[in-house]
Amino acid sequence: MNKRIFFTLVLIFLTNCSFNKNSKIWNENSNSVEADKTFQKVIIEEKTKTRELNPLIEIDLSNIKTQNFNSNPQNNFGALKYSGFFDKAGNFNFSKFKNFDPLNLKPLFIKNGIVFFNKKGSIIFFDNNQKIVWKKNYYSKFEKKLNPKLSFSLDGKNLIIADNIGKYYLLNIDNGELIWMKNNVYPFNSEIRRFEDKFFIVDYKNILRCFYIKNGSECWNFATEDTLTISTNKYSIITHKDIVVFNNSIGDITAINISSGMIQWQLPTQSNKIVNESYNFKNSKLVKDKETIFFSNNKNQFYSINIKTGIPKWVNTVNSHLTPILVGEYIFTVSDDGYLYTIQKNQGNIIRINDVYKFYKEKKRNKIKPVGIIVGQDKLYLSNSDGNILIIDLGSGKILRIEKVSRNQISKPFIYNESLFLIKNGSIIKYN
């Protein structure tokens, strides 16, 4: 057979195969795939350049309710109690990291202080007056040189810790004494989420692992598709009734039954080629609101999906890896090119876009990226990769103030107990 004819037939066969996992959604109650009948795509054509939209529209936020904490197991922070105007109140100091990664750093805020770590993996418990209550390190000399990055979760008096070199362990929060320590086959790369007597975490191989808090033994694990590269983006986990939902490095959103470890549903959001490009792929944290999950990514996709089925309610074109903030009937996020979006939560319609980077000259603007956002009362606080934080009136979208925090990178803002916190390399800064 002529080689050209042979290869043509092979190509026709491959392009007509229905193995593309992005086109269907699996349901545990069926052995076949179901076409998505409720899916609504709000914007079909991808925008080439973001522009302002209705920038002068005023959003009425006079009746919004505020919360008093920045630790929500569903990542649904909403508007937090912080009426201050960014007055510095003190520093929680630690030894500087060799490689500062502000995107994946988060302190543990508790009633009587803050838990964080330094470049050698020492866990530090600061009281509210910035004094060290205790400081513990459970790493070998070799492990300290690896500069472990730690994630925290508190279960009563039990402090759960997991890191990016494969260790996970439990401490007593009162004194820092070790209760148990174990090693995983692969390093971890997600937030920690607790549920009753268990906790969940995802490793670099895109495997969700369930462990018992009491002794660290594994309940079950569930592997999703692996990649050839290691993602720099920390994965997100939320729980809902009897399921745990997580994302991975290639954009799959997967729901697992907590008791059995069996899959409930999976929603792939990217094409198969992302497997080899996952290093640059960034997904926001998953945010749960009642029966809906919201998330976005740096591939121009903002999703609203049903948490029971994984079926999209709407998808809009927003290029952002920041965790969206839900306030009342609105969603607020900032795109990677510096535009503040106001979106209707239920319909997915974009009702306002404000250019909050317009004060930057174009050459400098192209080098700056948003790091994170938080909402306090009626103001949005946006931290940038140039060490600035922008204070924005949420109702009008106008910039009220620009504050220089550091010459280098800073973390996303955190609000706890009516104070705002930012991490720069070497200290956590508190603002009243």
Residue 305 has pLDDT above 90, yes or no: yes
- Let me know if residue 353 belongs to a domain: yes
| CB-based contacts of 241, cutoff 8 Å, min separation 6 | none
Gap between the Cα atoms of 316 and 43, Å rounded: 5
Q: Tell me: the pLDDT tens digits for 14-54? A: 344 433 333 333 343 433 334 344 555 554 444 458 999 99
Task: Round the average pLDDT of the chain to a whole number and report it.
Answer: 88
- Let me know if residue 336 belongs to a domain: yes
DSSP tag of 272? G
What are the residues facing 319 on neighbouring strands?
A: 297
DSSP tag of 95? P
- Let me know if residue 205 belongs to a domain: no
Average pLDDT over residues 172-193: 97
When pLDDT is cut at 50, 70 and 90, the band that residue 272 belongs to is confident
Residue 1 has pLDDT above 60, yes or no: no
Gap between the Cα atoms of 255 and 164, Å rounded: 24
Average pLDDT over residues 350-365: 95
Q: Which of 226, 317, 231 is nearest to 280 (CA)?
A: 231
Greatest CA separation found in the chain? 81
Average pLDDT over residues 178-188: 97
Gap between the Cα atoms of 128 and 48, Å rounded: 47
- Let me know if residue 315 belongs to a domain: no
Q: What is the CATH number of the domain that holds 357?
A: 2.40.128.630
- Let me know if residue 89 belongs to a domain: yes
Q: Tell me: the pLDDT tens digits for 203-228? A: 999 999 999 999 999 999 999 998 87
Q: Tell me: the pLDDT tens digits for 5-16? A: 443 443 344 344
Q: Compare 29 and 131 and report the one with higher pLDDT.
A: 131
Structure tokens given for 317 = 């074109």
Stretch (H or E) spanning 11 = helix 3-15
Q: Which of 300, 328, 330, 323 is nearest to 381 (CA)?
A: 323
- Let me know if residue 386 belongs to a domain: yes
Gap between the Cα atoms of 202 and 248, Å rounded: 8
Residues in the chain: 432
pLDDT the model gives residue 156: 95
Query: Residue 365 belongs to what domain range?
Result: 50-103+329-432
pLDDT the model gives residue 33: 34
Number of domains present in the structure of the chain? 1
- Let me know if residue 432 belongs to a domain: yes
- Let me know if residue 269 belongs to a domain: no
